[in-house]
Amino acid sequence: MTLAPLLLLALATFHPLQVMPKTILTEDSATILLTMQVDCLPGECPGQIEVDLLDKNQQAVKARLQMMDNGLLGDAIPGDHIYSRKVEMKENHARKVVFSVAPDNTATIDVLWRPTFLEMLQQIWQKISAKYFR
């Protein structure tokens, strides 16, 4: 192993990992977009950035995801120094989903329980009542 790849990465500036959307509902299939900007000189940029999905104990689970800057796997614009990855998710339980590229660089999605039909009607009625029946 040579030190050259490590030196190239040391010259890059890694910005915070971003995730969109920030909230999804249980039982819904959602497309998640992970992005991270990396400031680096041409030829000194990493080929990919690995992202771990963490469990409630902050331990990596499942296979690592690779974010790219080559127009593949959800990357919008090749060579723009914004590494991206699209992931399809469907969660059955309310929880926080944490993605990590480093211990101090994580992004979180809140998975919320889907309201029942009656709960949605109650919310609508409360809004109507607040507006018209004060």
Residue-by-residue pLDDT tens, the chain, 134 positions: 333 343 445 578 999 999 999 999 999 999 999 999 999 888 888 989 999 988 888 888 877 899 999 998 888 899 999 999 999 999 998 999 999 998 899 999 999 998 888 888 898 999 998 988 87
Token couple for 13: 């500036």
Give the three-state DSSP class for 121. Answer: helix
Domain count, the chain: 1
* The pair of three-digit structure tokens given for residue 73, joined into one six-digit string: 């796997």
pTM, two decimal places: 0.77
Q: How many CA atoms lie within 13 A of 117 on its CB side?
A: 0
Expressed as residue numbers, the domain containing 119 is 4-132
- Dist. CA 38–CA 16, nearest whole Å: 9
Residue 75: CATH number of its domain: 2.60.40.1930
The answer to whether residues 55 and 61 touch, using CB atoms and an 8 Å cutoff, is: yes
